[in-house]
Structure 1
Amino acid sequence: MFVDSHCHLDRLEWDKLNAQLPDVIDAATAAGVEHLLCVSVSLAEFEQMAALVAPYQNVSISCGEHPLHQTDTVDTELLLQHCQTSKVVAVGETGLDYFYAAETKQAQQAAFVEHLDVAATVRKPVIIHTRDARADTIALMKAHRAEQAGGVLHCFTESWDMAKAALDLGFYISISGIMTFRNAGALRDVVKKLPLDALLIETDSPYLAPVPHRGKTNQPAYVTAVAAAVAEVKGVAIDELARQTTDNFYRLFAGIERKNK
């Protein structure tokens, strides 16, 4: 069985999918995906997202503000309030993105620190987005007790040195469909080095559909294509890759009750 460790079900474009949420959940289940983590990118939209997926026992949620979605400041009190509830299993998505928004570095860093502090307070893992901000991401993680909460660098596309620095802090590395892209040779080289017991897989749907689904709206069922690509690079059977990444998921997100053992 597989797990999609990072998706955005509230961001799916239903007209493009020609489907509704129950259809997407059913398709994932049929593909062998036993659990989905629906990741928040907006505090303002969090309650709407939570209500959308509430009927589904195989969907868990996080709470946070994406660095490209935030205003100048994050409502830390509201973030803490939501993250203290049992239904929220992780803090984020948070982090730093200097590729798209280098001009907001200071605001991003301040918000990232707030998320790290909340994660350390509630002792729930933090989901980190990082792009072109390697040194600052690791420095802030070290300075703000990231190792106390643990977490994951999601949709990883950075260097082995950065991955190693995160691994040394007890973090996991999550791989998306990007590694199936033709120009992702450097990422595949990093994946070869990653230890199996620190790997997660994700779709980041509706974005970044993996080969052979390129050009389509991504959905959780497609995480099996990510798993197949990672298994090939790692030289392991896909069943072993599925078992290990699923075990890793439940170990990291300890607030999720595992139904299938």
Structure 2
Amino acid sequence: MNAPSIRALLVDDEILARLAIRQALAAHADITIVGECGNAAEAKQAIDALTPDLVFLDIKMPGMDGFRLLHGMRRDTALPMVVFATAYGQHALQAFDANAIDYLLKPIDQARFDQAMVRVRQHWAGLTNAVSVAKPSYLQRLSVVCGEHVRVIATADIDWIRADGNYVHIHAHGKAYLHREALTGLLASLDPARFLRIHRGIVVNVDRIAEVHPLFQGSAEVVLHDGTRLNLSRRFRASARHALGMS
């Protein structure tokens, strides 16, 4: 049985911006556009009437911005998934505080848009308990906020990841980037053939592992090609042995 179609509402005061999202959605046949709105007041009525599953939402709009719209919505029903589409990169952290699925910058880039749709489908599958027999799609890139900019990092370039509460520190290219997402949620969207959990709070790209050093009492240490040393806890040693082909 096919997963149910995702019903989407487009909210942006610019007609061309809504058209751009329509064009980007043309490659995603499982998304049905149920309406368009030119401001937040119209969107509030449309959300109540149409109960969309997904809202593509601009931030800067006349009268009421996208954040005020979300904060003023009814809480007695399930809120739709939200993907922000805006020309302003400085609001990314606030967007994720509002539980947005993703944050797209205008002009819309198709590859980045497709990445956002991977996140939407993963979240939608969890909401609907849909079962798919198709090969799962894993993140190829992710975006992290760096000051007033958004940096796109290819997942293949990630060396390792460390949990920090509801955030993670992503280590890539010799730098660490703070990203607002819990480790468990991020790990679910990464290819398990490439990323290995070696500790409750540490995930490593297996291609970066150079050596494994056994330590006392069943624990071990993983050494990356750049010399980084990470603890391999006893809890995850069996899965690490299998992933690394250790006898």
Q: Give the shorter-chain TM-score range.
A: 0.3 to 0.5
Q: What TM-score comes out, normalization by structure 2 length?
A: 0.32
More strand by share: 2
Q: What TM-score comes out, normalization by structure 1 length?
A: 0.31
Q: Which has the higher contact order (CA 8 A, sep 6+)?
A: 1
Q: Which has the larger radius of gyration?
A: 2
